[in-house]
Amino acid sequence: MTYGTEPHNVSFAIGNGSNRMMCCIVMRERYTDFVVSEFSIGGRDHDYTASITFDTDVDLSMKAFFWDEESIESFTSSITTYTDDLVTTKISWSVATFADVRQIEPTVASGTSASATYLDISSTSTSNDMLIGALLDSSNNRAPFDYDTLTERAEHSVEQMASGIADGSGGDGTTRLSNDGLASKMVGMVINLQGFATSLTDSAGRGVMRGVSRGIM
């Protein structure tokens, strides 16, 4: 996970494969939400985006950006261009590329709480899908996190902010994202990337989804 700087003018690792989907999640704590006016890779703007902000005395904001296979193929480089309306070092982000993903908009569910030890976030998925879980807490003391059935990929803590990323196979109706057990302000997001079924009755079957690169730096 990269932290302390925005994802601008950096090189993203781009994995090989077919039917890819690249996902970058940006998390930050600030007195207000932030607006991203541009986020592109190799000259190609993102295809989909989703966001959640908890507006309190300590604002917690999380945004996800996605590039599909057509966009990935059109990248002229792996260099990013990113612009938003805030300047702060309380920011972290992580990027990953997955192959064998249906080329449709990812399904994103989210949740917030002013005082909780966990967030139960509902999502509809199958074992062929990939779930990405992201959790943001207003206290750096509330990590380490737990992500239910998902596998942690990275965590980062700084004053008034702890953030973490996990992923894994779908199939559960609810993903519980938890802090270390003391109630705190929290924002969570669960992303469902739909995979292809392996059944012979599925004419689009192309195998179970897999991660082909992660940019946890």
- Please list the residues that pair with 36 across neighbouring strands: 84
In a domain, 51, yes or no: yes
Q: pLDDT by residue (tens digit) across 177-207?
A: 999 999 999 999 999 999 987 544 443 444 5
Residue 154 CB-density burial (10 A; 0-12 exposed, 13-18 middle, 19+ buried):
middle
In a domain, 212, yes or no: no
Q: pLDDT by residue (tens digit) across 137-170?
A: 998 888 889 999 999 999 988 877 899 999 999 9
Mean pLDDT of 126-136: 95
In a domain, 209, yes or no: no
Residue 8 reports pLDDT greater than 90? yes
pTM for the full predicted model: 0.90
| Alpha-carbon gap, residue 130 to 191, rounded angstroms | 8
How many structural domains comprise the chain?
1
Residue-number span of the structural domain to which 23 is assigned: 2-196
In a domain, 211, yes or no: no
